């Protein structure tokens, strides 16, 4: 489930290949189009093709002779980049059977657009895009789930633990009755280039951060706003592991932690792990670290548990900050300046209220929350 993209895709055909992928990247099997009686290849005339390619549709559908209406040419293959990974394939429509709440039967949703990926690199066994685009899971489900909202609560876990299942709620019941939420509005990046990936993102207004109760005054606030090309700003993304700061912002955050932490800096561990800030805690039983908080537009604050921003690496007897610099990961001065990743979202109930255009959140023990 990825709130930073919109296409829903699955491993597809017997020829599916995944390069540099986990061994279980197709553990749930691959989708075999020939076995389906309700599948249709998306053509250039289909609105889903136009949604995928926007103003480039006519250019890509060359045999349609400039007229997409009634054109039977297959919609061109898609290719999607996810950080250092990617996937490519053909767009299909299928019938999605959505289980009813009472567990008895399912609701059939016809003409559901899904990607039939034939080749991938560094990818899991499919992705359900939950972004703001028209092809995302929540956008396509629409009125079938009631209110246009969804929520999840990611269980806290260490790197050496097995994967855990976490709660996700769609529609009306995503807004809990028994717990109050803090809210910050979703922002629209009106300066983003047309048909860019930026339109899929859930932007939120990060106004600053605090370390040890002290607000960092040196943060370059210009990066927290959109520039003339739509770069900058902050997004929340369930598909990114660690929160990523532009290098300029990260340097100030690292310096803020360093000024309040007295343990020996473990530069050799930073080199081996790729993390930006590590400390040697050999022989220490009680490790004390400063509090960290995000401050959002509207006055809401997200105070993180220590486990959400420092992790213990037993093989090095060190702790490392699990928020990182974009240096070497992202294009310089391109895209969001801050990506709030899923490691920092753990043990928070997060409500994406698309109907009211806002993000709701509260700290929660996700292991026991139902």
SS3 245: strand
Q: Rounded distance, CA 323 to CA 343, Å?
A: 9
Exposure of 173 in the CB half-sphere (CA atoms within 13 A): 6
CA distances from 264 to 13, 87, 225, 306, 308 (A): 53, 42, 35, 19, 21
pLDDT value, residue 194: 80
Q: Rounded distance, CA 11 to CA 88, Å?
A: 10
Dihedral sign for Cα 240, 243, 244, 246, please: positive
Neighbours of 62 (CB within 10 A): 11
CB 252 within 8 A of CB 216: yes
Local structure of residue 163 (DSSP, 8 states): P
CB 243 within 8 A of CB 339: yes
pLDDT value, residue 288: 96
pLDDT value, residue 66: 77
Local structure of residue 271 (DSSP, 8 states): H
Output b/e per residue, 225-259; b: 16+ Cβ within 10 A. ebeeebbbbbbbbbbbbbbbbbbbbbbbbbebbee
Q: Quickly tell me which residue has 């509005």 as its tokens.
A: 185
pLDDT value, residue 161: 62
pLDDT value, residue 84: 82
CA distances from 83 to 80, 86, 87, 232, 312 (A): 10, 8, 11, 17, 25
CB 147 within 8 A of CB 172: yes
In the chain, what are the domains?
8-145 (2.40.70), 167-363 (2.40.70.10)
Tokens linked to 250: 């990260």
Q: Rounded distance, CA 274 to CA 310, Å?
A: 14
N-terminal to C-terminal alpha carbon distance within the chain: 19
Per-residue pLDDT of the chain (370 residues; tens, 9 = 90+): 999 999 999 999 999 999 998 766 665 679 999 999 999 999 999 999 999 999 899 999 999 987 899 999 999 999 999 988 999 999 999 999 988 777 778 889 999 999 999 999 999 889 999 999 999 999 999 888 889 999 999 999 765 566 778 989 999 999 998 899 999 999 999 999 887 889 999 999 999 999 999 999 989 999 999 999 999 999 999 999 999 999 999 999 999 999 999 999 999 999 999 999 999 999 998 999 999 999 999 999 999 999 999 999 999 999 999 999 998 776 556 899 999 999 999 999 999 999 999 999 999 999 988 7
């Amino acid at each position: 489930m990825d709130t930073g993209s919109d296409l829903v895709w699955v491993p597809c055909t017997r020829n599916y290949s995944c390069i540099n992928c986990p061994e279980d990247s197709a553990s749930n099997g691959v989708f075999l189009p020939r076995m389906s009686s309700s599948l249709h290849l998306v053509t250039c005339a289909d609105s889903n093709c136009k949604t995928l390619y926007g103003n480039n549709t006519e250019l890509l559908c060359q045999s349609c002779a400039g007229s997409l209406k009634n054109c039977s040419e297959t919609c061109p293959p898609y290719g999607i980049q996810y950080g250092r990974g990617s996937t490519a394939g053909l767009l299909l429509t299928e019938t999605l059977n959505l289980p009813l709440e009472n567990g008895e039967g399912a609701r059939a949703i016809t003409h559901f657009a899904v990607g039939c990926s034939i080749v991938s690199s560094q990818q899991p066994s499919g992705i359900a895009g939950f972004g703001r685009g028209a092809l995302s899971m929540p956008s396509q489900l629409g009125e079938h789930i009631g209110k246009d909202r969804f929520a999840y609560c990611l269980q806290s876990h260490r790197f050496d633990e097995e994967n855990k299942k976490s709660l996700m709620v769609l529609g009306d019941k995503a807004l809990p009755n028994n717990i109050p939420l803090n809210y910050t509005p979703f922002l629209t990046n009106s300066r983003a280039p047309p048909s860019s990936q930026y339109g899929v993102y859930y932007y939120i207004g990060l106004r600053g951060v605090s370390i040890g109760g002290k607000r960092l005054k040196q943060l370059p606030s210009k990066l927290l706003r959109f520039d003339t090309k739509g770069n900058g700003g902050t997004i929340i993304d369930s598909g990114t592991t660690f929160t990523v700061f532009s290098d300029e912002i990260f340097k100030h955050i690292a310096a803020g932690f360093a000024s309040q932490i007295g343990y020996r800096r473990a530069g050799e561990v930073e080199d081996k792990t790729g993390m930006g800030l590590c400390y040697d805690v050999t022989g220490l039983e009680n490790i004390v670290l400063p509090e960290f908080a995000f401050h959002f537009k509207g006055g809401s604050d997200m105070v993180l548990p220590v486990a959400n921003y420092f992790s213990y690496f037993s093989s090095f007897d060190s702790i490392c900050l699990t928020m990182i610099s974009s240096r070497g990961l992202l294009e310089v001065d391109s895209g969001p300046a801050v990506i709030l990743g899923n490691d920092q979202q753990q043990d928070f109930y997060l409500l994406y209220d698309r109907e009211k255009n806002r993000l709701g959140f509260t700290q929660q023990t996700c292991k026991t929350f139902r």
